Amino acid sequence: MEKQDSTSLFPILPPSPVGIARMAAEAEHAEDGHLIEFKMLKVRSILNKSVSKRQLSLAYSINPYRGCEFGCKYCYARYTHEFMAPKAAAEISAEVTTNTIDMRDPLSFERMIFLKQNAAWLLEQELKKIDPADEVALGTATDPYQPIERRAKITRSILEVFSRKEGYRLGIVTKSRLIERDIDLLVEIGRHNTLVVHVTITTPDAKLARLLEPRAPRPDLRFQAVRRMREAGIIAGVFGSPLLPGITDNEEALDGMAQRSAAVGASFFAAHPLFLKPCSRPTYLSFVREHFPALQADYAKRFATADFAGREYRERLAKMVDSACRRYGLGKRSSDALLTRNEEGGGKRPTLGVGTTARQQRLFA
């Protein structure tokens, strides 16, 4: 007998969402922020197997939250909320909904934040099943230290798990100075595992940063976080990404970033070109139109047929970054994917690069 679809039997009842969309629909209200709603998300896994066309080296990623409060204009992860929307508009009903926010709207990524429940317990179980040599990245799609972390402490609970482990490879990416709160755990993790922390600082200009990353901490506070981690002996460096065409992709800007990174004892400095996925393009180009109207034509041309920067442009920027690193004795990273590995793909410490001073060698040890 052919199995009938329940929706054909009961056409007045909309179909229920499945998978992550169902989890989102069933998420319980946690609290409210300014123009933000927080919901508790029941997940079955906290360790995500990485699959990427960009051939990232990391094997697994952890995102304690789904959605991010910082609201960065260039954010490439906005599309992830689309997975939490019902597959068809007809699936949205009074009983099954994620409130009034349209999860297909790119802005929903910063206005509806999901907190993953039982993260530490899940991680404890899942780490038993992976090869410790496989790289784990914390904070690839959402910032693990966004403001809600002050109260939720999900990221801290994850670090507590790693602090009891040995032989793992953990890379952390954040824009927040809140990471200073967990220096005690980071030091403990670093004693028995490979740990590298990356603090993203797109620009040292506080006014520009406020426009680009409206709810992220000031750049000077992020540099200060790098200094404090380095003083604690933690491998920590600066990501100057993304490099914005016509705004921060010039020698003067890169020199200033590298100089500031060296001044706080950063282990390395890296910066990579802006790429615009369809989900982030409208938001970022709106920013350009409002604040850098003279660059509109250039951006239209650059991203007319591709999301990523061209090879010649990438290579030119890579040389500029390399020169800045050499100038100030900073370690360099060949790819943002190599979170804990050196440029050859192995080893316990990222490559420092030619021209590294004795002082930087000691700092990085």
**pLDDT tens digits along 124-134:** 999 999 999 89
Mean of the per-residue pLDDT values for the chain?
81
Between 197-211, 282-296, 307-321, 337-351, the lowest mean confidence (pLDDT) is in 337-351
Of 104 and 73, the one with more pLDDT: 73
Q: How many CA atoms lie within 13 A of 67 on its CB side?
A: 29
What is residue 260's predicted lDDT score, i.e. its pLDDT?
Answer: 98
Whether the predicted pLDDT of 352 surpasses 50: no
Find out whether 115 and 46 touch, Cβ atoms under 8 Å. Answer: no
> In the prediction, which pLDDT does 103 show?
63
Q: What is the pLDDT of residues 232-281, one digit of tens each?
A: 999 999 999 999 999 999 999 999 999 999 999 999 999 999 999 888 89
Q: Is the pLDDT of residue 3 over 70?
A: no
Q: What is the pLDDT of residues 25-47, one digit of tens each?
A: 443 444 444 578 999 999 999 99
CATH number of this structure's domain 45-64+119-336, picked from the four choices 3.80.30.30, 3.10.20.310, 3.40.190.120, 3.10.50.40: 3.80.30.30
Which is more confident, 200 or 10? Answer: 200
Predicted confidence (pLDDT) at residue 358 exceeds the cutoff of 80: no
Cβ distance 324 to 255 under 8 Å? yes
The Cα 65–Cα 46 span in angstroms is 10
pLDDT on residue 55: 47
Would you list the domain boundaries of the chain?
45-64+119-336
Q: What is this structure's pTM?
A: 0.80
